[in-house]
Structures are given as structure tokens and as C-alpha cells.
Amino acid sequence: MSPKTKAVTGHRTPKVVRRRSSAFFPMFRKILIANRGEIAVRIIRACRDLRISPVAVYSDADAAAVHVGSSDEAVCIGPAPSVESYLNIPAIIAAAKKTKAEAIHPGYGFLAENAKFARAVKEAGLTFIGPGAEAMEVIGSKTSARRAAVEAGVPIVPGTVAALTSFDQAKEIAEEFGYPVMLKASAGGGGKGMRLVASFEELRSGFENAQSEAAAAFGDSSIYLEKAVARPRHIEIQVFADSHGNVVHLGERECSIQRRHQKVIEECPSPINDAGLRAAMGAAAVKLARAVNYVGAGTVEFLVADETRDFYFLEMNTRLQVEHPVTELVTGIDLVREQITVASGAPLSFTQEAVAWRGHAIECRVYAEDPNNNFLPSPGRISALRVPDGPGIRDDSGVELNSEVSIHYDPLISKLAAWGRTRSESIDRLRRALDEYEVGGIKTTLPFFREIVRDEEFQSGRLDTGFISRFYERRDRRAKVATENSDQQEQVRQDMAVIAAAIHYAISRREGSGSTTSAADIQSRWKLSGRAALREGRNLSGGNRKSFREAK
């Protein structure tokens, strides 16, 4: 489909190069954003800060989307399916040429980690705002990334450094390392093509399902195997490199709270907040970035054994992360702005020594999903919207009132982040913001997050990748105890009703007969009636209970 335009309102030597005047590094005049939703809006804002004209692309389904209306120009690149629009490399490059954009920002997802796209952008005479295709090819494949980590001296989780060639090989290696093991897609991330295999009986189905899912998600069915680490934390390090030899890290993000291997809550710093561990992990991440001649923003992900604090390289994402706002809130560094200036040829605007971590930030990914129905997508029109605000609150959103949440794309509608001077204060602010947040017309994950921030283990920072499953177990136990307590209270209420009825019966008999029975005798009969009722009449709905007269 031809684009339609619519007008809208190897190792390097470490060194420090100070940022010079923009006269030395001319800034782009126009950037095309090859993405949609909240990340497209976020990049548009960074362009505005730098006085750069932003160009949006959109599919037929996104013609009325927020990112389209927020840009200076917007180009339709195809029908709703991603493969015909947001993954359509020729259409995106044609749109950039048509609008005379000088650079393309891929955001995250879609083509952000596609070396073929990065190379095509460069061959078209445009600047790709991200790492070079060569570095992307090394790091983009999980198996080659593991080899690069080994060569750079970065510890990895025990496993294969090449794709599995057969089920028999998987069986042999799994037996060598011992179960449980993880099967993972070589070409992607985000939990796609990933299976935890607890025993040999699960290996065949895990192997076949991981392969088919990897092929569907990434066009590459290759998978690799690694030993599963028991109850690990998932902690990542933000790195940044320029073309002048500067490579720095901006500390860690805790990403252990995951649903189906997809992060849903992230925070900076980790609740561990160990300066020594941060320095060691940061040094390892910088070493790997240097080893592959990396330029731009990247994230090196690790598994961390909570008790020993040993860490193992997991993968490197060659793009901006969804959770980048928490790092921005704590360091005060605008990562998207830095991506753009570094891509223009400028050195980093800061040194490693200048990076400081102030306070604590936590982010929730707000999805149009039903948490009470296995988190199934909940597409539809947003009929009501109240966005939280106030001290320390940031909401990166790609929707507005009456926006349509499409069935064609990821259902992420916003990222709600809260900053505080301490982790406790950031939790307090996040809890308040979640309570303020209202979205009508669709189901969202907001109720789920409201429960999480009130959970004792979350508040104490006892996190690992199994957090959500244990959270549900704790919730189920609490619900069971509450039900039992309610049943007990109902039984007491029924027993008291029986006793009261027995007393009333005894008094009625006395008054009706004119009896001169003594008070002590009445009290004794009350007791007998009550005891009989308690013994015989507990199940008031049953058909076998005796009458009060019989119980006397």
C-alpha cells in the first residue's frame, strides 16, 4: 500500500568526551517514529523538547490514535495487521522519504530490535536511532549474546551457547544439567517462546511449543536451553554508549514481578539497594556493551540469586525499555532525549561519575486486560477516564477519553509511575494514584495492582520471579480463612437465634399458664432448652431438627 500523508496539529578505549555546542553536532530537523501508542507519544514529547518536528505513522486501525494527533505529520502505512503496517519496512522508509525525515526512532517492540530494519534505514541514507545492525545481530540472538558474554568474562546461567539442533540434544543436555530447565527462543524476548520444564515428561511438549511460539512471534523457531535458577530475582542494568568511546551504566531496575514471563511492575533501584552489587553488575554490563561496540541505549538483564547475590547474564535488549521512566525519575536523565542526541553524533551529556540515584520509583504497566479472567485482552472504547496526578506521579499514556483499544496490538494503555524519597513513600504515592485511576468501558489491570501494592511481601521487598503465583496462593488462603470465619459467625448467629427462641418460648408458656414457677426453675428450663437446641437444631435448613416443644 502506498503511504498516504495527512496533516495534523570491537572493544573501544574508555574516554570522556564532554558535550560540545550543537554547532559541532547538528541536530535533526525531523524524525519519523516507527511505532504507536504511549511510546510514540513519549518520543514525540522528546522531539518537542529538542525543537524537532515529529512524524507519526499509523495503520488504518490507528487513524484516530493519540500519537497521530500529537505529531506534525502522519502517514498511513497499511491495514491493521502489524505485518502489513508497523512491520512493513518498505512502507516505513517510504514514509520517511516522503516527509523528508532525517532519522527514524523505532521505539520498542515491532522493528526496534530488527537488524534488517536498522540496515535498511542506513542504506536509505537515514539515521537509525539505536545501535548498529552489526551489534544488534550479535546481541539480538540470545545464543550469540551468551557467547559474547562468555568471551567478555560476564557470568551466564549454565546452558547452551548455540541453538538446539534436535529434541534428542535437548534431552541429553537437560539430563546433564538436571531439571528444572528453561527452553527459550533464540531470536526474541517478552516471554514468547519460553517454557519452564520441570521433568522429562514435560520436555517433549515444552520443546515443541517453544519452537512453534518462537516461529510465530519472531519468524525463527530456534531455541536454546539453560538451567532454571530457583526463585531468582530478575534485575536489569541500563547502559548507554556513544560513538566517542564513552560507555556508562545508570544502575539497576528490579523486574521480578512478572506474569507469563512478562514484566508488569518495575522499580528503581532494586529493593536490595546494594551499592556493591550495583557496581559489580554495572561493570559487567558496561564490559559487554564495549565488547560488541554498542552505541545508544541498551539493557543488560541478569538473574540474581537472592541469598548469595550471585548474578548471571540473561540477555541484552538493544532498545529503549518499556520501564525506562523509573530510571529517568531516579537519575533525572532523559533517556529518549539522550538517544536522539547520541544518534546525531554528540557524546553523552554525562559521565559515570555524574550519575546519581535519588529516591525510589515504581511503575505499573496498565493493560486493557481482565485480571479476573486469566488476563484476557479487553478491547473496546474507553467511555470514562480519570488519570491520577499529584506529587511524584507520572503517567505515560497512549490513550484518551473515547480512544479505541484495538484487538490488533499489545493492550498496554499506559505506564503509571510513582517517585518518592524512599521506597515506602513511593508505594504510598502509587497506592493513592492507583485508587484515583479510573478507566471505564473496558477491563484493566488496575484492580490487580491495587491488591499488589497492599501485599505484605511486596511492601517488604521480598520479590522474585515467582511472586505473582505466590501472591495468588496467599490471596486464596486469605479468602478461605475469611469464608471459614464467616461460616463460624453465621453458626454463632444461628445458635443465638435458637437460644433466644427457646427463652421466648419458656416465657410465653409461663405467662400463658399463669404458672407460679420460680425464677430459678425458669432459668433452668431456659438452659435445658438452649442446650437441646444447640445439640439438635444447628442445621436450621435441615428437615430433621426437633421442635422447641420436643426439645424441652
**Catalytic center residues:** 319
Torsion from C-alpha of 144, 148, 149, 151, nearest 10 degrees: 140
Pairwise CA distance, residues 55 & 8, whole Å: 10
Cell of residue 149, nine digits: 558474554
* Segment (H or E) for 507: helix 467-513
From the list 422, 289, 300, 345, the residue with the least C-alpha distance to 129 is 345
Reference 37, options 443, 409, 290; nearest CA is: 409
The three cell numbers locating residue 337:
532525549
- The CA distance from 320 to 315, in Å, is 14
SS3 393: strand
- DSSP string for 376-388: EE--EE--EEE--
* Cα-based distances in Å from 145 to 237, 255, 320, 321, 424: 16, 20, 18, 18, 37
Give which of 316, 321, 338 is closest to 136, Cα–Cα: 316
Q: Angle 540-544-549 (CA atoms, 0-180°, nearest 5)?
A: 80
The span from the CA of 388 to the CA of 222, in Å, is: 43
| Pairwise CA distance, residues 333 & 331, whole Å | 5
3-state SS track over 410-459: CCEEEEEEEEECCHHHHHHHHHHHHHHCEEECCCCCHHHHHHHCCCHHHH
The CA distance from 526 to 195, in Å, is: 67
Residue type, 357: W
